[in-house]
Structure 1
Amino acid sequence: MSAFPQGEQRASAPLLAVAGLNAWYGHSHILQGVSLEVRAGEIVTLIGRNGAGKTTTLKSIMGLVPRREGRVTFAGEEILGLPAHVRFHRGLAYVPEERRIVPGLTVEENLRLGILAARTRAREAARIEAIAETFPRLKQRLRQEAVTMSGGEQQMLAIARALMAEPRMVLLDEPSEGIMPILVEEMFAQFAAMKRAGTTILLVEQNVDLALDISDRVYVMDQGAIVHHDTAAALNADPVIQDRYCSV
């Protein structure tokens, strides 16, 4: 099965290419030959019901699942056997659903952790300024202790921290989970801004309507496998697929 919708032309080599990816937790075979591609400058979304394997796909791409096989190439290089921190230094960032904001640190101090991890402190001030422009709520709260913010604001901080290292691609896992609707809409507008600024995004998201609004292409997962993929516009016009694989 091609990783692109039928008839769509490949404008360039993919930034991320996953082929025949299998993954296990213990003896449980979770991913069943997952294949997908993401080109530079795209927002591509993985959708599907809970337990379909979406989060495991992101974690496997990032090197956070202990047992896996297949191929994962990033910027033309095979990375399946590399540890997560090496993948990060090569430009691949991951924002988990749990956020992992560091207690006791301010928003600005949490942001600086992203620079420390990337070892590019010379750009620290410029990056914080750029991030603050992308996330105005954070700009207003740089001196505030991060854990005192709302869940949605903490999610924005987790995403902003990943962007501090100027990654080529960000893996976002359920960013809207548990967030009030007004902040979700603001966050998705910021994802579109990230794309315009040149950041490529692979998104796992349960809010199908908002995801389709900002995505270029969509892969649908069920029981650990990719069962459908198409442009976001085509899937948006296909309520049968949405109801079959995404409804609760």
Structure 2
Amino acid sequence: MQQGRTAPLLAVEDLQAWYGHSHVLQGLSILVQPGEIVTLAGRNGAGKTTTLKAIMGLVARRAGRVSFAGEDILPLPPDSRFHRGLAYVPEERRIVPGLTVEENLRLGILASRHQREEARRIEAIAETFPRLKQRLKQEAITMSGGEQQMLAIARALMAEPTMVLLDEPSEGIMPVLVEEMFEQFVAMKRSGTTILLVEQNVELALEVSDRVYIVDGGAVVHHAPAAELRADPEIQARYCAV
């Protein structure tokens, strides 16, 4: 892989992953620089979600190299990766239904190294996500799907991760909330958070991303700046149609 002008925050090289006997990732390689939003695009079943899970250590059988902040983390368990500043927000959200918004947020810091900074973090997150600020005492299960997705992302941010892996954040969410959420991704980038995004809403992802890797058959088949891909509908139609 070509190196950028600065050392990458995340470097994935020749990543292989299996579910049982199914060889899902077949030599996938990507780079993510500090402060970028990078999107993994491609058709359903291309291997995008598996890529995020393998980076986070949630795929049992894997090979290759995953370097985060200069350290090879492939042998590490998921909790060690989390404590090194890597957070993951799965498509399922996994909000705890019996808890309030504020209590769900606290779960994100209880598992982190920042427990003494709980009040400050909740205040900062509430400013970043105004909808959540209005609902801190509300039971999380009573919120809309889009608001629950914001809560899942906000909970991941409680530990002040260096990088967040986001899996299909717009899935099943009203368009008005999707646009608001993607605006918050840009705000997260401005605050110094690096994002690796898996997203089927390619048009919107291209608006906020710096670069895009298109995945097909468990490997990268195209890589380009987001602006270049926006101007190439042929590539989008070839690889990104659901």
| Counterpart residue type for residue 186 of structure 2 | A
Q: Which amino acid aligns with 2:111?
A: A
Equivalent residue number for residue 207 of structure 1: 201
Displacement after TM superposition at 1:203 (Å): 0.2
After superposition, give the CA deviation of every residue in 1:84-104 in whole Å (9 maximum; x if it has no partner). Answer: 000000000000000000121
TM-score, structure 2 normalization: 0.99
Q: Report the residue type matching 1:158 in the other structure.
A: A
Map 1:54-69 → 2, pairs under 5 A: 54-69=48-63
CA RMSD of aligned residues (A): 0.8
Verify: 1:228 aligned to 2:198, yes or no.
no
> Equivalent of 1:133, from 115, 127, 132?
127
Shift of 1:119: 3.3
Is contact 1:169-1:201 (8 Å) kept? yes
Unmatched 5+ stretches in structure 1: 5-9
Identity of aligned residues (%): 79
CA distance in 1, matches of 2:80, 2:2: 26
8 Å CA contact 1:212, 1:236 repeated in 2: yes
Residue aligning to 1:113: 107
Provide the C-alpha distance between the structure 1 equivalents of 2:5 and 2:180, rounded to a whole number of angstroms.
30
In the other structure, the counterpart of 2:66 is 72
* Offset at residue 121 of structure 1 (A): 1.5
TM-score when normalising by structure 1: 0.96
- The answer to whether 1:192 aligns with 2:204 is no
One-letter code aligned to 2:79: H
- Cα distance in 2 for partners of 1:158, 1:94 equals 10
Which segments of structure 1 move beyond 4 Å, counting only runs of 4 or more?
none
The gaps in structure 2 that reach 5 residues or longer are none
Per mean C-alpha deviation after superposition, the further-off stretch among 58-67 and 117-126 is 117-126
Q: How many residues align?
A: 242
1:22-43 CA deviation, whole Å, 9 max, x = no partner?
0000000000100000010000
SS at match of 2:111: helix
- Letter in structure 1 aligned against 2:133: K
| Other-structure match for 2:160 | 166
